[in-house]
Structure 1
Amino acid sequence: MKKYLTAIAFASTLSSFYSVAQQGNVSVNTLVKTTNSWDGSSLPAYPSGTPEITILDINIPAGTTLPLHIHPVINAGVVIKGQLKVTKPSGEVLMLNAGDPIVELVNQVHTGKALGEEDVRIIVFYAGEKGKAITVKKQ
Structure 2
Amino acid sequence: MSQLSSRCSRHVRACLIFSLLGGLIAAPVAADQATIPGVEVERLARSSQSWNGHPLPAYRPEQPEITLLRFRIAPGARLPLHQHPVINAGVLLSGELTVESKAGEILHLKAGEALIELVGELHFGYNAGTEPVDLIVFYAGNVEQPIMELADGAAGHQH
- TM-score, normalising length: structure 1: 0.85
More strand by share: 1
2:71 partner SS? strand
Task: Give 1:107 deviation, angstroms.
Answer: 0.4
Partner of residue 118 from structure 2, selected from 105, 108, 130: 105
**Which one has a bigger Cα radius of gyration?**
2
Amino acid paired to 2:55? S
Identical pairs, percent: 42
Q: Structure 1 residues 73 and 14, CA, compared in 2 at 3 Å: closer, same or farther? A: farther
Structure 1 letter corresponding to 2:70? D
The structure-2 alpha-carbon separation of the partners of 1:94 and 1:48, relative to structure 1 and needing over 3 Å to count, comes to same
- CA contact under 8 A between 2:64 and 2:143: conserved in structure 1? yes
Match of 1:38 in 2: 51
State the shift of 1:18 in Å.
3.3
Partners of 2:104 and 2:56 lie apart in 1 by: 21
Report how many aligned residue pairs link the two structures.
130
- Where does structure 1 lack aligned partners over 5 or more consecutive residues? 1-8
Native 8 Å contact 1:78 1:100 kept in 2 = yes
Moved over 2 A (4+): 11-19
Unaligned runs of 5+ in 2: 1-21, 153-159
